């Protein structure tokens, strides 16, 4: 390894260590920290962010980048080192436009905002949360202003979206979402008068202690390894990797709605499998992390829904639920479970939404975020705008902000530009699922037998092993021969729901 490249990697490794400390402090805040620790934790996160930001955007990083690039001149552009230089240069050029004070204050505000959100959600009190939300969006607009004049960003929102889905632009997301919305609205309308599905099983009482045992069994089948993983409770489920060999996932529980804990855990375990499968040869380097949250969400949505809610896996789940829950669920059969967990019915909570209505929750947030950033919508008017759009998109009247504008943690934590990746993840999952079905000939039988290793290894080969070497569009072109597209997901959904509702929904979509 060249001297300058070695020095650059040493610097990036130290930055990764700071990132691990930030991740651990954030995980603790969401799972273990007592509420009175919020102010001190906010200062700690702000300090760590300031140190990390200063170190990354420093001129020395730029010099090492330039010297390492010169030493690699003529190397294979797809080599790990060449891809590392390209990735770090792109991030360095973006981040060095941001003042350290702004980066630090954003971290502090996100930490304080998260705690304010927990209180406000518990009391359904948007008014108490509004000042924190206003501050977060004001900081986001200042961040956007740092990048004004850069031709690569067509709209202010592009700057934020690029942090979570590098290279993706709001115009392209809008086009994809318009096509997806039209497909889903038509599909939901076809199912709206169908009364054939009974979802009583998912509302039967299932004690949380039994749910915990079920979830442990399921995530172990997926690849959860107690020597390198943890699972904990939280208000809003998430997953994170503190470092190589240390993956943390979370879920939450409801004894009268067991899908919350079960599918929340499967979703987060999907994220965890991606993190655990990243190339260890690139540890402590940016290329050894996940580049795209769309890809990340494709993993969680695929495991939660395409596996977890499949007929094949319901044959695995049903007898274990019956044994662990007893009571009303003691005689649960796989077919009843399969139909119950795939009922299409608009609801208030995004993370509990069925696969057909889920993207409408995301599109709503995507549209509101853009309006809050460009100033056409004020924070004070957000609940009214949320409720009106919810009525238009999902046909429901929101009467409680805890089930409305306060239900998600993202805005409180400053994660503005994140929401579109959820629906993009659904689309990518559809593409991966279609290819996996074609290449893993016994996939359904493996799932019905509880053998999830072949699918996990296939995803590792197609997605996880690449880390952040390629942007999403390039990785999909390389592995699947196409960029993000709507068709595979819609065809999957029509096939599945046609099966559930005993209808022919297989028309060209």
**pLDDT per residue over 85-104, tens digit each?**
999 999 999 999 999 999 99
Distance CA(369)–CA(380), nearest Å, equals: 14
Whether the per-residue pLDDT at 107 is higher than 70: the answer is: yes
Whether the per-residue pLDDT at 227 is higher than 70: the answer is: yes
Distance CA(443)–CA(466), nearest Å, equals: 23
Q: What is the pLDDT of residues 328-382, one digit of tens each?
A: 999 999 999 999 999 999 999 998 899 999 999 999 999 999 999 999 999 999 9
Helix orientation angle between 487-501 and 170-191, rounded to the nearest 10 degrees: 20
Residue 509, pLDDT score: 39
Q: What percent of the chain is modeled with pLDDT above 70? A: 99
Whether the per-residue pLDDT at 236 is higher than 90: the answer is: no
Helix orientation angle between 156-164 and 420-439, rounded to the nearest 10 degrees: 40
Q: What is the pLDDT of residues 160-192, one digit of tens each?
A: 999 999 999 999 999 999 999 999 999 998 898
List, by residue number, the catalytic residues: 268
Whether the per-residue pLDDT at 1 is higher than 70: the answer is: no
Classified as helix, coil or strand, 481 is: coil
Residue 249 has phi, psi (to 5 degrees) of: -125, 160
Q: Is 37 exposed, middle or buried (0-12, 13-18, 19+ CB in 10 A)?
A: middle
Q: What percent of the chain is modeled with pLDDT above 90? A: 93
Check residue 229 and report its DSSP letter: E
- Which CATH class for the 170-501 domain? mainly alpha
- Closest by Cα among 403, 338, 333, 393 to 363: 393
- The token pair that represents 12 in the structure block: 């990036």
Average pLDDT, the chain: 94
Helix (H) or strand (E) holding 302: none
Q: pLDDT-based confidence at 507, cuts 50/70/90?
A: low
Task: Give the C-alpha distances (Å, rounded to integers) separating 306 from 99, 180, 505.
Answer: 43, 18, 18
Alpha helix locations (H) across 32-99?
Answer: 38-57, 59-71, 80-95
Give the dihedral sign, CA 66/70/74/78: negative
Q: What is the pLDDT of residues 452-468, one digit of tens each?
A: 999 999 999 999 999 99
Residue 28, pLDDT score: 95
Task: Give the C-alpha distances (Å, rounded to integers) separating 213 from 57, 61, 236, 271, 403.
Answer: 46, 48, 20, 20, 28
pTM of the predicted structure, to 2 decimals: 0.94
Residue 197, pLDDT score: 86
Alpha helix locations (H) across 239-343?
Answer: 259-276, 293-301, 311-325, 334-340
Question: CA-based angle 236:238:240, to the nearest 5?
Answer: 150
pLDDT, average across residues 272-281: 95
Classified as helix, coil or strand, 375 is: coil
Q: pLDDT-based confidence at 504, cuts 50/70/90?
A: confident
Distance CA(322)–CA(299), nearest Å, equals: 28
CB neighbour burial string for 489-503, b if at least 16 within 10 angstroms, e if fewer? bbbbbbebbbebbee
Residue 147, pLDDT score: 94
**Where are the chain's structural domains?**
3-115, 170-501
Q: pLDDT-based confidence at 508, cuts 50/70/90?
A: very low
């Amino acid at each position: 390894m060249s001297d300058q490249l070695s020095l650059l990697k040493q610097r990036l490794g130290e930055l990764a260590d700071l990132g691990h400390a930030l991740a651990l402090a954030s995980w603790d805040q969401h799972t273990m920290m007592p509420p009175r620790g919020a102010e001190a934790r906010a200062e700690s996160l702000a300090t760590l962010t300031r140190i990390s930001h200063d170190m990354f955007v420093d001129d020395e990083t730029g010099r090492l980048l330039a010297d390492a690039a010169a030493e690699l001149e003529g190397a294979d552009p797809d080599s790990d080192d060449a891809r590392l230089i390209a990735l770090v240069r792109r991030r360095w050029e973006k981040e060095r436009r941001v003042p350290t004070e702004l980066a630090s204050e954003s971290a502090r505000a996100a930490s304080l905002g998260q705690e304010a959100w927990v209180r406000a959600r518990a009391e359904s009190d948007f008014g108490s949360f509004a000042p924190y939300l206003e501050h977060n969006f004001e900081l986001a607009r200042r961040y956007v202003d740092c990048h004004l004049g850069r031709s690569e960003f067509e709209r202010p929102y592009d700057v934020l979206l690029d942090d979570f889905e590098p290279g993706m632009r709001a115009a392209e997301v809008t086009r994809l979402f318009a096509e997806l919305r039209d497909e889903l609205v038509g599909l939901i309308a076809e199912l709206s008068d169908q009364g054939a599905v009974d979802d009583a099983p998912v509302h039967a009482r299932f004690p949380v202690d039994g749910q915990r045992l079920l979830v442990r069994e399921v995530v172990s089948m997926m690849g959860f390894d107690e020597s390198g993983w943890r699972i904990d409770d939280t208000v809003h489920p998430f997953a994170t990797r503190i470092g190589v060999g240390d993956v943390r996932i979370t879920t939450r529980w409801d004894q009268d709605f067991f899908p919350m804990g079960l599918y929340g855990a499967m979703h987060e375990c999907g994220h965890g499998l991606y993190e655990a499968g990243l190339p260890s040869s690139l540890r402590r380097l940016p290329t050894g992390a996940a580049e795209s949250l769309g890809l990340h969400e494709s993993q969680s949505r695929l495991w939660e829904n395409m596996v977890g809610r499949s007929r094949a896996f319901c044959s695995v789940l049903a007898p274990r639920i019956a044994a662990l829950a007893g009571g009303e669920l003691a005689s649960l059969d796989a077919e009843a479970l399969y139909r119950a967990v795939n009922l299409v019915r608009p609801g208030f909570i995004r993370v509990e939404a069925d696969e057909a209505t889920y993207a409408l929750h995301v599109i709503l947030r995507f549209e509101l975020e853009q309006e809050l950033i460009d100033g056409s919508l004020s924070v004070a008017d957000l609940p009214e705008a949320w409720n009106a759009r919810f009525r238009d998109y999902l046909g429901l009247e929101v009467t409680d902000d805890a089930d409305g504008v306060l239900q998600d943690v993202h805005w409180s934590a400053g994660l503005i530009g994140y929401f579109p990746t959820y629906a993009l993840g659904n689309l990518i999952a559809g593409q991966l699922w279609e290819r996996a079905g074609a290449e893993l000939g016994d996939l359904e039988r493996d799932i019905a037998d509880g053998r999830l290793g072949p699918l996990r290894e296939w995803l590792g080969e197609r997605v996880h092993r690449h880390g952040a070497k390629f942007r999403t569009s390039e990785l999909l072109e390389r592995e699947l021969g196409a960029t993000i597209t709507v068709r595979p997901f819609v065809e999957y959904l029509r096939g599945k729901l046609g099966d559930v509702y005993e209808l022919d929904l297989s028309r060209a979509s």
